């Protein structure tokens, strides 16, 4: 009896394989009844991502599930808005073999790298457990967006890790960061993006002075900043030199009386009230 490679099967045959694997996953999901539906589809994901041919066939077979299981690599190449939640992705891939995790991440990162239309990128990671591969995954995504000159809005909310060797975007207008950084990296990010008019920096883990950005933020209109804990806030006085600043929101706690120099510098200059919380 002759044999046929699985990679040469027609779509109908592949659809039946998808159907059978999905059925087994559904049965297991009902037995476990733990709510982690995506995790319980790991066998299906594992099979589909093993071949680009299978990925395309699966998209035609069940597009809704294709989207639900984050196998939608193709849309990553063309969408203008990308949201990456590392925690959800690690849960999704929890039961997948290391070999197929590497395949998945290669396809995922390459799709982002090939995207030339990205306008908004949001990266989130609020870990409930430790993932040893996270640092490499996070850095791979950062490297993939290194020269995205279409990017206007960057949002990073990642706890416990640092943003280093920042990419050269050049056209950012919105910057929203909650991540550990060195002053030099933040300054470089502002220096290379002269059109920034909105900055939100809500991490208290900045090593160095935030005011180092002032000479490079002439277009800045909105600034939201979380001050370091119990800090001498006189270091923020230089923020009064931002020529177009209209809204300043300061959060956190500072030593009493140390905001006076900043307030004096802003008196009669800021068009909307300073908000302090």
The C-alpha angle 149, 67, 54, rounded to 5 degrees, equals 100
- The neighbour count for residue 186, using CB atoms within 10 Å, is 24
Q: What percent of the chain has pLDDT over 70?
A: 87
Q: Which residues contact 45 (CB under 8 A, 6 or more apart)?
A: 69, 71, 92, 93, 96, 100, 104
The better pLDDT of the pair 153, 268 is held by: 153
**pLDDT at site 38:** 46
* 57-66, 168-177, 183-192: segment of lowest average pLDDT: 57-66
Name the 3-class secondary structure at 27.
helix
Q: Which of 25-34, 90-99, 150-159, 170-179 has the lowest mean pLDDT?
A: 25-34
Torsional sign, CA 97, 98, 101, 103: negative
Q: In this model, does residue 269 exceed pLDDT 60?
A: no
- Look up residue 193 and give its two tokens: 């993006």
Contact between 142 and 121 under an 8 Å Cβ cutoff? The reply is no
**Is pLDDT of 142 > 90?**
yes
76-96 b/e (C-beta count within 10 Å ≥ 16 → b):
bbebeebebbbeebbbbbeeb
pLDDT given for residue 100 in this prediction: 78
36-73: pLDDT as tens digits: 444 467 788 878 877 778 888 998 999 888 887 777 77
Say how far apart CA 218 and CA 244 lie, in whole Å: 7
Q: What is the mean pLDDT of the segment spanning 16-35?
A: 77
How much is the pLDDT for 39? 46
- H-helix or E-strand spanning residue 121: strand 120-125
Q: At what angle do helices 52-61 and 11-32 cross, to 10 degrees?
A: 80
Q: 172 pLDDT exceeds 90?
A: yes
**pLDDT beyond 80 at 21:** yes
What is the model's pTM?
0.76
Residue 198 · residue 173 · CB < 8 Å = yes
Q: What pLDDT is attached to residue 40?
A: 64
d(CA 36, CA 17): 23
Contacts of 198 (CB under 8 A, 6+ apart): 173, 174, 175, 176, 220, 221, 222
80 DSSP assignment: S
For the chain, the structural domain boundaries read: 9-61
- The residue ranking higher by pLDDT, 198 or 169, is 198
Residue 255: what pLDDT?
Answer: 62
Q: For residues 39 and 91, is the Cβ–Cβ distance under 8 A?
A: yes
Q: What is the pLDDT of residues 118-141, one digit of tens each?
A: 999 999 998 777 778 888 999 999
What does the pLDDT look like over 223-266, one tens digit per residue?
999 988 767 778 888 888 899 999 999 887 666 656 667 767 77
Contact 54, 21 (CB under 8 A): no
Contact partners, residue 215, CB within 8 Å, separation at least 6: none
Strand partners, 250: 225, 276
Name the CA radius of gyration of the chain, rounded. 24
Distance CA 92, CA 70 (A): 9
């Amino acid at each position: 009896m002759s044999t046929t490679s699985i990679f040469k099967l027609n779509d109908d045959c592949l659809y039946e394989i998808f159907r059978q694997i999905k059925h087994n996953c559904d049965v297991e999901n009902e037995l476990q009844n733990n709510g982690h539906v995506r995790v319980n589809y790991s066998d299906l994901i594992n099979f589909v991502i093993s071949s680009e041919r299978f990925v395309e066939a699966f998209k035609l077979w069940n597009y809704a599930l294709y989207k639900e299981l984050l196998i939608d690599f193709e849309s990553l190449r063309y969408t203008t808005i990308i949201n990456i939640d590392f925690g959800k992705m690690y849960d999704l891939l929890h039961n997948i073999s290391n070999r197929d995790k590497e395949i998945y991440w290669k396809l995922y990162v390459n799709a982002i790298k090939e995207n030339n239309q990205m306008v908004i990128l949001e990266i989130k990671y609020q870990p409930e457990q430790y993932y040893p591969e996270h640092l490499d995954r996070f850095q791979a995504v950062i490297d993939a967006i290194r020269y995205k000159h279409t990017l206007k809005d960057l949002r990073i909310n990642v706890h416990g890790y640092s943003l280093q060797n920042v990419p050269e975007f050049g056209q950012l207008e919105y910057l929203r960061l909650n991540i550990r950084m060195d002053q030099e990296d933040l300054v470089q990010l502002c220096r290379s993006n002269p059109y920034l008019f909105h900055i939100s920096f809500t991490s208290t883990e900045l090593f160095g002075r935030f005011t180092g950005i002032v000479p490079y933020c002439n277009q800045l209109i909105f600034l939201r900043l979380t001050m370091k804990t119990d800090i001498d806030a006189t270091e923020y006085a230089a923020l009064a030199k931002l020529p177009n600043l209209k809204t300043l929101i300061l959060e956190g706690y500072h030593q009493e009386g140390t905001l006076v120099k900043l307030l004096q510098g802003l008196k009669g200059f800021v068009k909307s009230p300073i908000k302090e919380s």
